[in-house]
Amino acid sequence: MRGVKSEAMVLATEDESSVELINPPVNSEVGERLLFEMFPVLPQEPPRLKSKVWQEIQSCLKTNSHGEATYTFEGKEYVLRGQEGQAANADTLRNTVIR
């Protein structure tokens, strides 16, 4: 935006009255890739997503009853985790959509 290269993504979750950022896992480092459990680590950078692809992915993102960021695929829930296995999560919001 505005000619400044962005190399990060911010996820937030919301309910009817509030919005919270999804926190990275406690022990993660700046720049560390977070992955949903089902996806392998790619040796190269993933391709840039087109808007329609992102919309499809985003429709499957939510927080679970523990506040963890999840992706639901074919009825199974996968948690967003750092390399040490800790989950990305919201502070207080549960069972809410992620945008």
CATH code for position 59? 2.40.50.140
Assigned domain for 71 exists: yes
Looking at the DSSP assignment, which residues form a beta bridge with residue 12?
Answer: 21
Q: What is the pTM of this model?
A: 0.85
Beta strands in 16-98 (DSSP E): 19-21, 35-36, 61-63, 69-73, 76-81, 97-98
Domains identified in the chain, total number? 1
Assigned domain for 1 exists: no
Contact (CB, 8 A) for 14 and 99? yes
Full pLDDT tens readout for the chain, 99 residues: 567 776 677 899 999 999 999 999 999 998 888 899 877 777 777 777 788 988 999 999 999 999 999 999 999 999 999 999 999 999 999 999 999
Assigned domain for 6 exists: no
